[in-house]
Amino acid sequence: MRRPRGIIDSTGPFLFVQLCKGLRGQVPAANLTAMSGPIILASASPRRLELLQMAGFEPLVAPGSIDESTLPGESGVDLVVRLAQAKAATVDLSGDPTRGPVIAGDTVVVLDERILLKPIDAVDAREMLEQLSGRVHEVVSGWCVRCATVQGSGHQITQVRFSSLSRA
């Protein structure tokens, strides 16, 4: 089965653009130039690592373990920004102001104002794909860039039109 482009490929570039904006707009240049170490990617996402590598970076990968549960009444935007901030906070920058920056992100799909979490098994995945079939949904990506003394975060929302799937 071919992967739906909208879910897999559209989020990465937008997230990376937002991360770069965060580095330029919210993290003072003095903090970045004082850092001698590599970027630290606080994520286990192969796609985020690939995007940073495509941009010429060789980040250290340091995914932290956090509770990714949705809070009652939490929107997709609030969820991904909170999770990105929590992932970035798992990297210890104390004692070395030249470490970092730390980059973290999270992405969810939102359909009809409902957050669709990662499927738990093949049956759940099939049901999710059937819900998305022939519809427009949102892919919500949150990011966080953290240095020893400052942190910036934000989000990007992408509208994705999902093609109708056959019942093969």
Catalytic residue among 9, 67, 106, 112: 106
The 10 Å Cβ neighbour count of residue 39 is: 18
Asked about 121 being catalytic, the answer comes back as no
DSSP 8-class letter at 68: -
Q: What DSSP assignment string belongs to 34-49? A: T--SPPEE----HHHH
Cβ proximity of 87 and 63 under 8 Å: yes
Pairing of strands 40-41, 60-61: parallel
Return the structure tokens found at 72.
């009652």
Active site residues: 106
